[in-house]
Amino acid sequence: MLVVVGGHSRNIGKSSVVAGLIAALPEANWTAMKITQHGHGICSAAGEACGCAIEYDHPFAVSEERAPGPSDSGRFLASGARRSFWLRTAVGELGHALPEINRILAASENAIFESNSILNFLRPDLYLPVLDFSVHDMKDSARRFLDRADGLVVVERETKTPPWDGIPPRWMAHKTMYRVRPPQYVCDELIEMVRARLLNCGLQASGKLTAIQVPRNGSE
């Protein structure tokens, strides 16, 4: 099973949601991956110059964390992931990394990625964008895929309504909103939904059933 956690802006808790799900569902034996894109030496994750940019003749770089640490991929390992990777790529070059991503997925029992742009290339079993209504920034990648969300992880703030223009109300009207309050970025309802989807995917893969009717797109 592949879970993708995205979000409409930086620093809104995406990595914390990933880490929280890993810690809450250790039986999934997660492989985790954080995907960072950069352009002209500017990191899209931080919005400033950083050390994640790679040489022009290498369109991507991927490294595996070997020990828990303060980085996001290190936090995933600390939360209980079996393996954790950090993939860096220039904006528009993520497609070059697909063979390596597929190799990692093929060797994984279950995977959880922090990314929006991976949805250009893969269709996950579960897509969960993180939304913070107090942050007005909306990435193009998040806007493009919002209607595909299986549920919305809404960070509880004083602002209670979405501030973004150009988002059709129907994209969000029928989605289940899993409301979380920092420093806890997962809630019981979110954990149980992901657990049910893991069971569904696992039993289908083992051939023990053809389908379990797990609600999708906020219909539970």
pLDDT at 52 over 60: no
Q: In the structure, what pLDDT confidence band is assigned to residue 213 with cuts at 50, 70 and 90?
A: very low
Give pLDDT, residue 131.
95
Say how far residue 170 (Cα) sits from the centre of its chain.
Answer: 22
The DSSP result for 141-196, as a single string, is HHHHHGGG-S-EEEEP-S--S---TT--THHHHTSPEEEEBTTB---HHHHHHHHH
pLDDT at 143 over 60: yes
Summarize pLDDT for 156-184 with one digit per residue, the tens. 988 778 888 878 777 788 899 999 999 99
Give pLDDT, residue 57.
56
Please say whether the beta carbons of 144 and 6 come within 8 A: no
Residues 6+ apart with CB under 8 A from 16: 182, 183, 185
pLDDT at 46 over 60: no
Summarize pLDDT for 76-93 with one digit per residue, the tens. 999 999 999 999 999 889
Q: In the structure, what pLDDT confidence band is assigned to residue 207 with cuts at 50, 70 and 90?
A: low
Q: What is the 8-class DSSP label of residue 40?
A: T
pLDDT at 206 over 70: no
Q: Which pTM does this prediction carry?
A: 0.84
Give pLDDT, residue 205.
67
- Say which residue, 83 or 140, is predicted with more confidence: 83
pLDDT at 40 over 60: no
Question: Mean of the per-residue pLDDT values for the chain?
Answer: 85
pLDDT at 204 over 70: no
CA distance 75 to 15: 8
Please say whether the beta carbons of 46 and 10 come within 8 A: yes
pLDDT at 186 over 90: yes
Please name each of the domains of the chain with its CATH number: 2-206 (3.40.50)
Determine which of 4-13, 70-79, 164-173 has the lowest per-residue pLDDT on average: 164-173
Give pLDDT, residue 217.
40
- Say which residue, 64 or 209, is predicted with more confidence: 64
- Say which residue, 40 or 110, is predicted with more confidence: 110
